[in-house]
Amino acid sequence: MSIDEIKAAIRDVPDFPKKGILFRDITPLLQDPVLFAETIDILADRYKDNLPNKIVGVESRGFLFGAAMAYKLGVGFATVRKKGKLPYKTYEASYELEYGTATVEIHHDGLEVGDKVVIVDDLLATGGTAMAAIELVKKFDAEVIGVDFVIELESLNGRKILENYKVNTILQYD
């Protein structure tokens, strides 16, 4: 398998969720067990020599890639979810959207002091959600050793806001 085959599995959906947006749909990638496994292998292999203690998956597609990556590496998994979705005590961080703000949360016991953490999501756009996840990890005095995505939309410059962190992506689009 190759990165070109993974990229070929990403479906372009024009005008979703609104007119003028070209949505990169990962559903066909998830439906192909060989390509999905290859994607997880690429994500996980980056850390085989610098093993994290935890993978943090960002709602919701980051759960798919992050949980599989945690399983592959034999490490724990924690979730970052939209405000109000976690049932226990939480820390929260807010970030800017095009119109307004959004808030994400993590359980108080999601990480431990000193954990080495990789944050995983499906898509890097503006970087706001990833930066909020980083803020949550910092509340534990944990170390972010990587921020990984399957897809990067380079024209939205999300990498710039994350410039102080090791950012890894598999696929890049303009």
Q: Which of 46, 59, 81, 98 is catalytic?
A: 98
Side chain identity at 41, as an amino acid letter?
D
Q: Which of 99 and 62 is assigned the larger pLDDT?
A: 62
Asked whether the beta carbons of 9 and 37 are under 8 A apart, the reply is no
Question: Domains (ranges, CATH) in the chain?
Answer: 49-173 (3.40.50.2020)
Q: Which of 5, 24, 59, 61 is catalytic?
A: 61
The share of the chain scoring above pLDDT 90, in percent, equals: 96
Average pLDDT, whole number, for the chain? 97
Residues near 23 by Cβ (< 8 Å), separated by ≥ 6? 12, 13, 14, 16, 17
pLDDT over threshold 80, residue 70: yes
Distance CA(84)–CA(87), nearest Å, equals 8
Give me the residues paired with residue 102 across strands. Answer: 95
Distance CA(63)–CA(59), nearest Å, equals 6
Tens of pLDDT, residues 91-141: 999 998 877 899 999 999 999 999 999 999 999 999 999 999 999 999 999
Tens of pLDDT, residues 31-57: 999 999 999 999 999 999 999 999 999
Cα separation values, 145 from 28, 31, 36, 100, Å: 29, 29, 23, 30
Residue whose token pair is 């479906």? 11
Q: What is the pLDDT of residue 97?
A: 81
Cα separation values, 135 from 1, 121, 129, 138, 144, Å: 36, 15, 10, 5, 10
Q: Look up the pTM and report it.
A: 0.96
Active site residue 61: yes
